[in-house]
Amino acid sequence: MQASGTVYADDSGDGVKFLKSCKGLLNYWDGKPTEASYDAGAMGYCVGVVRGVRGTLQILGSELKDGRLKVCLPEDYTEQAGVRSVVNYLDDHPEKLTSLVESVTMLALRSSYPCR
């Protein structure tokens, strides 16, 4: 008997794990090996979410007329800066640790890089 239906990755909004992964990645990038978590998969997930949400916001922001989803990134933007904005946002808004990581990433990037 075959099971049918869609299988989704388990992403129940575990911001605690996401924050830990992103902090580990920043420690690695900042040259703090004793503080870095060397879970390459988790670090890759962190930067992948930030990159994916950033790209989506840029595409949607250029297409939507009301501009509510816009981010205005500086020319020297790096994914490291994006990860740092997510870590800072979650440190400042611990109540968001139960939100979906994509949602938190969007809020963090919009907060750090608003359009003027």
Please state the separation of Cα 63 from the chain's center in Å. 22
Cα(47)–Cα(44) distance, rounded to whole angstroms? 5
Residue type, 34: T
> What are the structural domain ranges in the chain?
15-112
pTM of the full predicted structure?
0.76
Longest dimension (CA), the chain: 57
Q: What is the pLDDT of residues 43-62, one digit of tens each?
A: 899 999 999 999 888 877 76
Q: What is the pLDDT of residues 68-111, one digit of tens each?
A: 667 889 999 999 999 999 999 999 999 999 988 998 999 999 99
Cα(93)–Cα(62) distance, rounded to whole angstroms? 28
